[in-house]
Structure 1
């Protein structure tokens, strides 16, 4: 079986409301369709990357290429896990976590997007909560980092709600214009009191070596 050689498709994080996992090929096509219909609200520019503001065709292709690239470029020393967010079995967006030299640094950087039709439903908060459970309870992360432009109120609200603390401001270039980026950090000691017992991880043990972690005996 494919998962004997590449176990990541068997990794799943479930909450009572949604699931995070890698998509099948038909589900990936559905995710691309979602991106083509829109990712950002009109008049907003919350992402540094240009892909979300491109044409519908290019948005869809960017989602496909990002998925394939993350898997093709994966190494235990430098990885990016782009988990699709499923609500009632349908893709509604992506919640990612990535790390460099994770075995030593134990730090992850997260990012996310939702189809514009799913904004304002609390799914972003629930998806990041699930991702943090994977990071801290599953992978043994010590710090989780998030960064948002200072006018991205929705992302900043999620960070604050989940207990992240400000971690400095950076001067940034947003599509040729100056912008400020606010960094946030959530350490394990601050996450532990918020740990939820209703989140379940499956399929993590076979993936340990891919994350640079010791393989359980």
Structure 2
């Protein structure tokens, strides 16, 4: 598929961790992973409660979302959903989303890991890897992200990497108001990150991805 859909060749690697553009086998593995649990039942880290329901309903939500993200990619608006893989096992997904990237050079990151992979330091590494793709591969200038105030793990990763707080907003979450914290990381802050946040990263398929995304 690489000749017709260059994004299919996109890979970002660091140590035993890989971010890769998902094929149908990865999407299926991701759906089954989500069906097995993404977060504790009393929590909800997402604005859309797609993790509620039976395992089959959750899996189907993942399939529909991933297929939709793949089909809607264009230079004007794109959502790159990358599988997080270690030793051949899909651990979760790391996304990079942009609108009018050629003008703004700004993109938003989002992610989730299967519940059984929480607490292993993967979240920080996969964020650093996608930021490497964004800044070094795509010549991005400003990365943004957000997390609900009670999502301690996500907020902790974001602050550790050096994002600046960029305000809050009140969002509806399962019928109740919830505070969402916004963050931004510019190129200067990325370049100034400490040595312990500098990974040895390699990338494949970036030239083709840039061409398909109009970068």
Which band: TM-score by shorter chain? over 0.9
Q: Does the aligned pair in 1 maintain the 2:22–2:81 contact within 8 Å?
A: no
Residues matched between the structures, number: 212
Give, in whole Å, the separation in 2 of the partners of 1:102 and 1:205: 16
Mapping 1:1-217, distance limit 5 Å: 2-194=1-193, 196=198, 198-213=200-215
Displacement of 1:32: 1.2
Indicate the SS of the match to 2:51. helix
Indicate the SS of the match to 2:192. helix
Q: Does the aligned pair in 2 maintain the 1:39–1:52 contact within 8 Å?
A: yes
Where structure 2 has 5 or more consecutive residues not aligned to the other structure, the ranges are: none
CA RMSD of aligned residues (A): 1.2
CA change 1:66–1:200 in 2 (3 A) is: same
Give, in whole Å, the separation in 2 of the partners of 1:175 and 1:212: 37
Displacement of 1:210: 2.1
Higher deviation after alignment, 13-22 or 96-105: 13-22
Higher deviation after alignment, 153-162 or 24-33: 24-33
Give, in whole Å, the separation in 1 of the partners of 2:76 and 2:48: 24
Displacement of 1:89: 1.4
> For residues 13-32 of structure 1, what are the alpha-carbon distances to aligned partners after superposition, in whole Å with 9 as ceiling and x for unaligned?
00113000023322322221
Give, in whole Å, the separation in 2 of the partners of 1:199 and 1:49: 32
Indicate the SS of the match to 1:127. helix
Indicate the SS of the match to 2:183. strand
Point out 4+ residue stretches in structure 1 off by more than 6 angstroms.
none
Where structure 1 has 5 or more consecutive residues not aligned to the other structure, the ranges are: none
Higher deviation after alignment, 83-92 or 40-49: 40-49
Higher deviation after alignment, 63-72 or 158-167: 63-72
Higher deviation after alignment, 24-33 or 147-156: 24-33
Q: Does the aligned pair in 1 maintain the 2:14–2:200 contact within 8 Å?
A: yes
CA change 1:35–1:197 in 2 (3 A) is: closer
Q: Does the aligned pair in 2 maintain the 1:103–1:211 contact within 8 Å?
A: no
Indicate the SS of the match to 1:51. coil
Displacement of 1:197: 5.4
Q: Does the aligned pair in 1 maintain the 2:11–2:204 contact within 8 Å?
A: yes
Displacement of 1:208: 1.4
